[in-house]
Amino acid sequence: MPLALLALAISAFGIGTTEFVIMGLLPEVAGDFSVSIPTAGLLISGYALGVVVGGPLLTVLGTRIPRKGMLLMLMGLFIAGNLVSAVAPAFGLLMVGRILAAFAHGAFFGIGSVVAADLVAPQKRAGAIALMFTGLTAANVLGVPMGTLLGQHFGWRSTFYVVAALGVIGFAGIAALVPVQRRAEGARLGPELAVFRRPQIWLALTMTVFGWGGIFAMFTYITPMMTEMAGFADTSVTWLLLLFGIGLFVGNLLGGWFADRALMRSLYVILAVLAVLLFAFTFASHSKAGAIITIPLIGLFGFATVAPLQKRVMDQAAGAPTLASAANIAAFNLGNALSAWLGGLVISAGLGYDAPNWVGGLLTVAALGVALLSGTLERREAKGAARVVARGAAAEQAVTAGR
């Protein structure tokens, strides 16, 4: 794997840290600005909305800019967003900083996926994408706990200063290690928009929304599940999340490895196992031993979907993958928002803190159904194309024989 992927992974580490670390700093932020915890929680929703809107928008605006140059601009925006967050004198300005960083998030992972795939041979592309996303999983394992600890001891603003510094390191790495392209490879807007006429693109995006939404339904409410039902102390949640993060890290690499060998079959198996695990966690979440066993497995199979889902969209958008890739990052975040909302609904309905696991399982089953439909249609199209080729060859042989 090229060293340039390390620069992309470091940048992804910084982006992933700033996305999730705010969850551990909400009490400090709320206290500093004299707002409620739910109000401070809007910083999470605002970030997700920024990813959904900003990713495709910035990708469209950057269609005439070479991809390396666009990545550098996005990291500059990311650094600026975190610096604004660090110095924000008011809650509203902190929200602005979060949204600026979120705009960079969506476009960076979309364009970065295309760049990572182009750095390697075709049979290694999913693995390259997974390696870039390793930075995001490492952020959950290391960045978020360390950033939370830093913010709790030195103030939440210190965390954003450190994340901005990570952005500077990522910027320098991209500038030094990502190769200069021989020609401008900014995406042309017309072809980029035209790929959305392909039904397979929409099926792939739907798979992402439902498939990733399945795991996030469980992850959003894991703390009350563990403390209220499994009986863990509040202080134990940190190492449970570490187990989950380790599962994410391993699953990300395995998902890329399997996707390079049999993408759709890998998705079928991963989604089916993930659905079973989420349904099983409805019962396992009532037991400490059951939770300890199941949580890292859900993380493993959950993040094993990421590289295959991202590569599936890029494959179906062959020739103009940049905007579709960014749209898939938005789809991941749309899945976050949808599943968190549905999970909150079933809890509010009095079905218990374990009810989001049923939501997650059903969303994952829906993703598997879409995957099977997409694969079936693809096989039919391939058979139809093969018949057309065969008929053409037969007609040519007949003409030759007639001569």
Chain segment 239-285, per-residue pLDDT in tens: 787 888 888 888 888 888 888 888 889 999 999 999 999 999 999 98
pLDDT tens per residue, range 3-42: 888 889 899 899 988 887 877 777 788 888 888 766 777 7
Mean pLDDT (whole number) for 282-293: 90
Cβ neighbours for 228, distance < 8 A, ≥ 6 positions apart:
353
* pLDDT greater at residue 175 or residue 28: 175
Quickly list H helices, 180-236. 189-194, 199-220, 222-224
Say how far apart CA 171 and CA 169 lie, in whole Å. Answer: 5
Say how far apart CA 61 and CA 283 lie, in whole Å. Answer: 48
pLDDT tens per residue, range 309-350: 888 888 888 777 777 877 888 888 888 778 877 888 888 888
Q: Check: CB of residue 240 under 8 Å from CB of residue 289.
A: no
Q: Check: CB of residue 328 under 8 Å from CB of residue 64.
A: no
Mean pLDDT (whole number) for 353-378: 92
pLDDT tens per residue, range 36-61: 766 777 787 788 888 888 878 887 77
Nearest to 216 by CA among 19, 29, 56, 8: 19
